[in-house]
Amino acid sequence: MRASKLLVLTFIYFSAVGSIWAQDRYAVFYKYKPQNGLSLDKPQDFLTSKALQRRAREGVQADSTDLPVAQKYVDAVFEKSNYILYQSKWLNASIIVADEAGVAEIASFPFVDKVTLIGRGFLPNPNARVGRRLFASSTAKACKSDSKSERVLESMESPSDFQNKLLGIDEMHKLGFKGAGITIAVFDAGFPGANTASSLSHLFQKNQIVATRDFVRPWNNNVYGDNQHGTNVLSLIASNEDGKIIAGAPDASYILAMTEEVATEYWVEEYNWLRAAEFADSLGVDIINSSVGYWDFDDTSMNYTINDLDGNTTTITKAANIAASKGILVVNSVGNYGSRVSSLVAPADSPNILAIGSVNQDLSVSGFSSRGPT
């Protein structure tokens, strides 16, 4: 009897887990964008003052991509989905979690253009409408936020001198240019230890962190966990500690966004990046620094070819192009796929952003660094 009960409980447990992973992530694209009282003649009704200030400075006008997704569409899709992660006004879409039956109904709506699978599986917020327990974050499974994962910046002999001189940062600092008045968004996989590292303490003491957001798990309010890569990148831009590391823009303001889901690789991460760019735009960001890139995925049907890297095809490249069109400078890593021909990754194929490779101290291209042309 006891063995039978154990088997039943085990079956129920794995059935529950299986039902969670049967829910996949989809992008629902809408055919239309009806507005209720909003007009491009009055952008102040749907854009923040800081977003408008940057547009004015860069000579950019508000357009239809700035208008929100129609709420009546979102409400209808919500009824047939398990969870809605977020909306994208730039692509006029909702990112949802649903099963196949729900997707079929949503695809039949007359206002829906198409529904695209963008990610396998999903572990929802424990307070979500679906009402199922959150067993663990898939990202946390791979990179637990504990003392071992909080990277401490090691003291070296002038470790930042080489990069600063290479980029002319030392001369800019002499002239007083240290990023004051500029807002920089950093998109990455997590920022553990950034809030405790001595070289970044000035960002918190002077309220230079203007916003943080996790777009992988929208309910998570703590970006100071998961993978340390974002902390490493932030330290190379914002650190300010003599004898340890002096970075290029210690006086800038920062937006920290998690867009990379470490445990898996699917198209959904490109949509996370897109939504993060919209968020940063709304806060008047000047620069997006992104150290992510996409080429191959866990679902091989999502893999890109060189022909896809044409500057207009991938979702993240489209998002980077839109961001650039709104006066935002996008700086993105070119990739880590080495010396083969055209080894760069999206969105480094965009003609409208800065794609940055890596060099050794003798100025030769680093072996791991991707390269073009597109």
Highest mean pLDDT among 15-24, 109-118, 144-153: 109-118
pLDDT tens-place string over residues 44-76: 999 999 999 999 999 999 999 999 999 999 999
Within 13 Å and on the Cβ side, how many CA atoms surround 229? 17
Q: Cα separation of 333 and 186, whole Å? A: 12
Q: pLDDT above 90 covers what percent of the chain?
A: 77
Q: Cα separation of 184 and 179, whole Å? A: 9
19: which 2 tokens? 């039902």
Confidence band for 158, pLDDT divided at 50, 70 and 90:
low
The pLDDT of residue 125 is 59
Q: Tell whether domain 2-33+69-135 is in CATH 3.30.572.10.
A: no
Span 128-137, average pLDDT: 33
- Give the closest residue to 249 by CA, choosing from 292, 186, 191: 186
The pLDDT of residue 137 is 29
The pLDDT of residue 331 is 98
On whether the CB atoms of residues 75 and 100 are closer than 8 A, the answer is no
Q: Is the pLDDT at 12 greater than 80, yes or no?
A: no
Q: Do domains 2-33+69-135 and 148-356 have the same CATH topology?
A: no
Handedness of CA 171, 361, 335, 148 (dihedral sign): negative
What is the rounded average pLDDT for all residues in the chain? 87
Q: Which residue has the higher pLDDT, 124 or 89?
A: 89
The pLDDT of residue 132 is 31
The pLDDT of residue 22 is 67
Q: Domain extents for the chain?
A: 2-33+69-135, 148-356
Indicate the residue type of 5. Answer: K
The pLDDT of residue 119 is 97
pTM of the predicted structure, to 2 decimals = 0.87
Confidence band for 343, pLDDT divided at 50, 70 and 90:
very high
pLDDT tens-place string over residues 183-193: 999 999 999 99
Pairing of strands 287-290, 329-333: parallel
Taking CA atoms, 374 is separated from 56, 267, 291, 308, in Å, by: 32, 20, 18, 9
pLDDT tens-place string over residues 203-251: 999 999 999 999 999 889 999 999 999 999 999 999 999 888 899 999 9
Based on DSSP, count helices (H) and strands (E) in the chain, helices before strands.
Answer: 11, 12
pLDDT tens-place string over residues 260-276: 999 899 999 999 999 99
Q: Which residue has the higher pLDDT, 372 or 320?
A: 320
Span of 115-129, 170-184, 283-297 with lowest mean pLDDT: 115-129
List beta partners, residue 253: 183
Confidence band for 122, pLDDT divided at 50, 70 and 90:
confident
Q: Tell whether domain 148-356 is in CATH 3.30.460.10.
A: no
Confidence band for 10, pLDDT divided at 50, 70 and 90:
very low
